[in-house]
Amino acid sequence: MKLLGIGGATSLALTAALVLGCATPPRPRELDTYDALKKSSNTQEAAKRAPDLVASSDTFGAKANEEWQSNDLEESRRDALMAQIKLKTALALAEQDRLKAKIEKLSSEQAGAEEDLAGVSKDLAAATENLTLLQNNIELKKSAEADKAKAAERLSSTQQKAEAEQQRLAQQLAAEEKIAAAQFSLHTAETVDAPKFAPSEYHAAADMIEKAQAELKNSALLAAQASAEVAKKNADHAAELAKPKYEQAEQTNQNNARDNALKNDATGIPGVSVRVDRRGELQRLVLAIPDLFMKKQTTLAPGHDGVLDGVAQLVNKYPTYPVQVVGHTDNKGRSSELVAISLARAHAVYDALVSRGVEARRLMPSGVGGDEPIDDKKSSPKNNRVEIVFLYH
């Protein structure tokens, strides 16, 4: 069958349309995921840290729930995902604040150690001065020198301990900061479902964070820093790999949901039969409308306004699909005459849909005569029909 020109881009903006009544669909998985996330024990802390993000998340969540109730599944999934991203970001910020507070505490401890070191240095200077005075006493010189040596040894040992503690605290602070950075990168990877789309990199990052935390607990501070750096690289790589796959999967899910919604809405139109044909990579949702014309007539018979109204509403509701209007006949007559009749009938339905608000450039009328019967008996009146065909991959 030869297709006449394509009637418009498949990416036109969604046109407002009358929505056919139907039962509330299953709740989107994205909305359930968002509700589970809201039950996190850290949600209240996130609300205090980033009230605007949490409020925006609540707004998107409420909107997604309303859109689900209104059968707007595509919009519901999109807004539920936005609600997840907003809330996950707020949770990550709250976690970052908690880690910052811990880091500030360690910094305070480091400052205290530095003060102790300064005090020790001051004591050392005073002791040295005292020893110098003692040296002026010839009778006590020998004893003073011994005392000086002992005092210097004690003070040197104390100073070395203070310096070692200061170094330990600095290394602990660096390890805490690197672990916090790795955890933030891991949370970022989760927003694009890295556990599913980049599982090796994601789990490698999670394992290295766990290892770094264990090393930190066991005071293996340099090892903890190294493990945290590897964890962050793995988490960043997981996010980079997962993002395009996540976006593609979301687009596929949205397209499948849209295709299923189209089929469900089509089956709700009385007076038409619906089937799905696959031709190579192209899928065709076919709405067959019988009895629109009397005998060999090409003028629409009266009494079909309801079915044509329903088809026009369906076409307008799904503006991204190319639509064919294909006329068919039985095999009674010459082939050229039957093709002409079928084409004229397709144009009659085309005109009827355009008069009901469908954009003319979206419709592609054609006629195939009696070449594609749906009844095994080619002369059957059932083969006299017009088919509305939605095309998609």
Residues 222 and 323 in one domain: no
Instruction: Give yes or no for a contact between 197 and 219, defined as CB atoms under 8 angstroms apart.
Output: no
- The arithmetic mean of pLDDT across residues 74-96, rounded, is 90
> Between 122 and 308, where is the model more confident?
308
Q: Is residue 331 part of a domain?
A: yes
Same domain, residue pair 153 and 221: yes
For residue 132, how many other CB atoms are within 10 A of its CB?
11
Do 246 and 290 belong to one domain?
Answer: no
Question: What's the whole-number average pLDDT of the chain?
Answer: 86
Say if CB 300 and CB 344 are below 8 A apart: no
pLDDT at 16 over 50: no
Task: Mark which of 235, 258, 281 sits at the end of a domain.
Answer: 258
Tell whether 27 is covered by a domain.
no
Lowest mean pLDDT among 102-111, 114-123, 149-158, 177-186: 149-158
Share of the chain above pLDDT 70, in %: 92
What is the side-by-side order of every strand in the sheet holding 282-290? 273-279, 282-290, 385-392, 323-328, 363-367
d(CA 320, CA 375): 31
Number of domains in the chain: 2
Q: Rounded to an integer, what is the distance from CA 277 to the centroid of its chain?
A: 31
> For 143-198, how does the pLDDT look when each residue is reduced to its tens digit (9 = 90+)?
757 877 786 788 777 888 888 889 999 999 999 999 999 999 999 999 989 999 99
pLDDT at residue 18 above 80?
Answer: no
| Residue 6 confidence (pLDDT) | 32
Q: What is the pLDDT of residues 246-290, one digit of tens each?
A: 988 888 888 889 989 999 999 999 989 999 988 777 899 999 999
Block residue for tokens 């076919």: 286
pTM for the full predicted model: 0.47
Nearest-angstrom CA–CA distance, 258 and 254: 6
Q: What is the mean pLDDT of residues 221-227?
A: 94
Task: Judge if 149 and 206 occupy the same domain.
Answer: yes
Say whether pLDDT at 310 is over 70.
Answer: yes
**Residue 7 domain-assigned (yes or no):** no
Structural tokens at position 164: 């070692």
Span 356-375, mean pLDDT? 93
Q: At 275, give phi and psi (nearest 5°).
A: -145, 160
CA distance 279 to 294: 31
Query: Is residue 30 in a domain?
Result: no
Note whether residue 34 is domain-resident. Answer: no
For residues 41 and 393, the answer to whether their CB atoms sit within 8 Å is: no
- Which of 258, 285, 308 lies at the terminal end of a domain, its last residue? 258
Residue 372's CATH number = 3.30.1330.60
Mean pLDDT of 241-249: 91
Look at residue 206 in the predicted model and tell me its pLDDT: 94
Q: What range defines the domain where residue 47 resides?
A: 40-258
Q: What is the distance in angstroms between the CA of the first residue and the CA of the last residue of the chain?
A: 18
Residues 185, 321, single domain; the answer is: no
Q: Among the three residues 258, 288, 321, which one is the final residue of a domain in this structure? A: 258
Mean pLDDT of 224-228: 94
